[in-house]
A and B are shown apart, each in its own frame.
Chain A
Amino acid sequence: MVDIKDLEKAARAGKLDRREFIKRAGALGLSLPFATSLLSQSVHAAMPKRGGKFVQGSRHGGTTDTLDPGTHENGFMQNVVYTYANHLFEVDNTGELIPELAESFEASKDAKTWVIKLRKGVEFHNGKSFGADDVVSSMNHHRGEDSKSAGKSLLDAVVDMKKTGPHEVTFKLSGGNADFPFILSDYHFAILPDFNGQMDWQAGFGTGGFVLQSFEPGVRATFKRNPNYFKSNRAHFDEVETISLVDTTARQNAVMNQEVHAINGVDPKTVHLLGRNPSISILETTGTLHYTFPMRVTMAPFDNYDLRMAVKLSVDREQLVKKILLGHGAVGNDSPIASSMPYYNDKMPQRKYDPDKAKFHLKKAGMEGITLDLSTSEAAFSGAVDAALLVKDSAAKAGLSVNVVREPKDGYWSNVWNKKAWCACYWGGRPTPDWMFTAAYVADSNWNDTDWRTGPKADRFNKLVVAARSELDTSKRREMYFEAQELVNDDGGLVLPMFANYIHALNKKVAHDEQVAGNWESDGNKNVERWWFA
């Protein structure tokens, strides 16, 4: 199998010209900007400098935040945990999965047994040396009956986990999963020191490039550089302060007035104005973040295939990208697999706004003159209320009347999402198709917000996902995932009009690698250890 490293090597040795490189990288499932920047990076790598105090503003953070990785759910805490702690695996700035606290791993043929060898000579911030016990108790924190961890479901497949050496841990899974290491890179599964058989998160000690100095929930976290960090080419700042700046205007003011060096969550509406500030550069990453309008296929009238099709055809995706994202994003194709992800189905025709075809399906369903309630709230995503109004506008031209209901932000996820027949929603996305499908589209997922679980096509989809999970042959796997995407696109209840870019504003003093990760915002939320002052 060719992998991206080989391509890079070939490019560097001059064996591949630029066009060939892009073509082959595209075959690996990498998007074009991704591939080009990879190339330029390998041609001239920048040399990071050490020093300085980095202050960043995050659009997240609440007074209920805690240091317990099991309760992390917002971007502020993700960033904090990726700053002071490490994981067994890491998605690096090029989007590739690399070992972090793991040194190497070995999977059995059926991808059910995973032996992970751990890095030696690593110390926690309190001087305790890192070993298999820490991994076992860190993982057990999220497992078991009474676990309240938000990451619990991801480890459901782990039936057994043992220390098989001072620096070796063995996982046994109930079913094969070729992507298991990806799961271990999830932010919940930070490796924190073991204390009497339990993970000790209260003290805030990790192995990361920065030592947590203070943490005020909903306000700020401060860090100092870890002089003993095991990575030699990471963690360049001397000091770091991460501030919660929830109000968009306050956040943008802070970076414009040079009170912080970087912010995330720049409003697409005002990016062009913000970019005019001479001290600011805009950093955009295209990743897996997508905005959706899930229809619950078990609730009338969405149990009707033709009505669903009429709705899908009466959403003007181009206009949504133009007006809600102001072009800072990509049109979606009613499938949650982003073009930057492996096994993205690029053969599937793009669904277009087609009022006439929508009318045809509406007539076929016998539901002309029906009015549909679309629940929305700014809690779903920024601009969700406006997006729903655009859907209402475009659907009206297709003879479908939509009633936009603005729900309170407060309690949106517990009262509206997964309850109302049709609502607005967002997904941060997952690095692999298996993870994405398992999280929200397979029959036994609690987050299956389209409730698409039964029927011949859904059954076929569920079989495909399970089979593809343990399939090690890439081309067979590709075929299965292609078909799975077509099934979701055709029969599922998903309306996925757009993938949104993560937009950041950086002070021009801040430097970063050419390629910036798009799996989460802020360079995969590992910006603190990856960025530096030029």
Chain B
Amino acid sequence: MLHPVVRTILQRLGLGLITLFVVSLILFSSIEFLPGDFGEAVLGQAALPETVAAFRKELGLDLPLHERYFDWLGGMLTGDMGNSFSGRGSSGGTDRSRPVIELLAPRLANTLFLASMAAIISVPLALFLGITAALYRNSIYDRSVNALTLTTISFPEFFVAYLLILILSSFLKLFPSLANISPDAPFWDRAYLTFLPALTLTLVIVAHMMRMTRAAIINLMASPYIEMAELKGASKSEIILRHALPNAWAPIVTVIAFNLAYLVVGVVVVEVVFVYPGVGQLMVDAVTTRDVPVVQGCAMIFAATYILLNLFADIISIITNPRLLHPR
């Protein structure tokens, strides 16, 4: 029999593939049902019926829906994400459209860079705040950390961004308000330019992770073994760090994974405000112009990120829990 960890991984990966398939099917048909198509969207006000028809013909949009879907799926299974609709010549003959992967790869790298920056700041911060809040629970410290983080999540993201720009960029002139990094920028330049968007994201997600850490630890405080440790005379911080925290990892890691997925998937607004060339903006633009292959490519990446991060969290939960690691 397979080890349960391996079994879980295989099971989850299998389910993940099915999820990806269904996600692609849903998005493909949703965009089909959206009024307008690529030709109309790209030409905007200037769309003429015959130019739109010409676009449709060249892009194969005149083929039935299922044919186009299976075409795309076939390509996907052989590792070809297809070509973007945009970048096609407006006259016959030349087809220099760009492969989706070429559009996606540099932006994905940017998105991952920003997500890592935000994660490096926010995860330790959230853990620290959560543990200390649990340690001094119901104190003024605990209440103010709670109120403060709740306030930051209750501001809309773009508003947090504008506030940070006002303070750190306009008044203190510490950081630039534009994070439009170029592909060949050296690492430290990138890190510097990306700091404000990363800080914005940190403020947006830290509350959730912090509250989780605090709740998970407090949740264990009524357990008999903690009472035992208390009776043994262990100090409060020792109890939390040595006894409660190791058992609280599972829920904490799950919420961290959930928020990391958000950092990759849900940052359109921050990208717009800081003019950061990430995948979110690409996907919104692709939806607006009905560039189906690009929408599908982005969606696959997003869904895969979500599935993999959840899987990763579950594996950590199993590893940190002996009862799950060594089932009866």
Instruction: Tell me, yes or no, whether A and B come into direct contact in the complex with CB atoms closer than 8 A.
Output: yes
Contact B34 A254 (CB under 8 A): no
Contact A73 B43 (CB under 8 A): yes
Contact A64 B91 (CB under 8 A): no
Contact A250 B273 (CB under 8 A): yes
Query: What per-residue 1/0 map shows which CB atoms of A166-208 lie under 8 Å from chain B?
Result: 0000000000000000000000000000000011011000000
Contact A201 B44 (CB under 8 A): no
What is the minimal beta-carbon distance from A150 to any residue of chain B, in angstroms? 4
Q: Knowing A202-B94, A250-B274, say if A415 contacts B36 (CB, 8 Å).
A: yes
What is the minimal beta-carbon distance from A434 to any residue of chain B, in angstroms? 18
Contact B94 A198 (CB under 8 A): yes
A71 to B286, CA, bound (A): 16
Q: Knowing A64-B42, A259-B177, say if A250 contacts B51 (CB, 8 Å).
A: no
Contact B177 A250 (CB under 8 A): yes
Q: Which residues of A lie under 8 Å from residue B183 when comparing CB positions?
A: 216
Q: Is A141 an interface residue (CB 8 A)?
A: yes
The interface-forming segment of A324-332, A343-351, A406-414 is A406-414
Q: Is A226 an interface residue (CB 8 A)?
A: no
Q: Is A270 an interface residue (CB 8 A)?
A: no
The interface-forming segment of B118-126, B147-155, B200-208, B275-283 is B275-283
What is the minimal beta-carbon distance from A25 to any residue of chain B, in angstroms? 33
Q: Is B180 an interface residue (CB 8 A)?
A: yes
Q: Is A249 an interface residue (CB 8 A)?
A: yes
What is the minimal beta-carbon distance from A110 to any residue of chain B, in angstroms? 28
Q: Which residues of A lie under 8 Å from residue B54 when comparing CB positions?
A: 145-148
What is the minimal beta-carbon distance from A445 to any residue of chain B, in angstroms? 10
Contact B177 A257 (CB under 8 A): yes
Q: Is B46 an interface residue (CB 8 A)?
A: yes
Contact A150 B43 (CB under 8 A): yes
A interface, how many residues as a size bin? 35 or more
Query: Which of A198, A220, A253 neighbours the largest number of chain B CB atoms within 10 Å of its CB?
Result: A253
What is the minimal beta-carbon distance from B100 to any residue of chain A, in angstroms? 12
Q: Knowing A63-B281, A64-B42, A250-B272, say if A148 contacts B90 (CB, 8 Å).
A: yes
Contact A220 B180 (CB under 8 A): yes
Q: Which residues of A lie under 8 Å from residue B94 when comparing CB positions?
A: 198, 202
Query: What per-residue 1/0 map shows which CB atoms of A506-531 lie under 8 Å from chain B?
Result: 00000000000000000000000000
Nearest-neighbor residue (CB-CB) of B289 within chain A: A64
What is the minimal beta-carbon distance from A62 to any residue of chain B, in angstroms? 5
What is the minimal beta-carbon distance from B99 to any residue of chain A, in angstroms? 14
Q: Which residues of B lie under 8 Å from residue A69 when comparing CB positions?
A: 90
Contact B41 A414 (CB under 8 A): yes
9 smallest CB-CB distances across A and B, nearest first, come from A70-B90, A414-B36, A64-B86, A414-B40, A150-B46, A63-B285, A149-B90, A148-B90, A253-B177
With A148-B58, A152-B50, A246-B275 given, can you name 14 additional A-B contacts, CB distance below 8 Å? A63-B281, A65-B86, A70-B90, A146-B57, A147-B54, A153-B48, A218-B285, A220-B182, A249-B158, A257-B169, A257-B170, A411-B35, A413-B41, A413-B45
B residues in contact (CB < 8 Å) with A: 34-36, 39-51, 54-55, 57-58, 84-94, 96, 103, 158, 162, 165, 169-170, 173, 176-178, 180, 182-183, 272-275, 277, 281-282, 285-289, 291, 294
* 25 contacts across the A-B interface (CB closer than 8 A): A62-B289, A63-B285, A64-B285, A66-B86, A66-B87, A68-B89, A69-B90, A70-B91, A71-B86, A71-B90, A73-B46, A141-B90, A146-B92, A148-B55, A152-B51, A199-B91, A201-B89, A216-B183, A218-B277, A243-B178, A250-B274, A257-B169, A410-B287, A413-B44, A417-B45
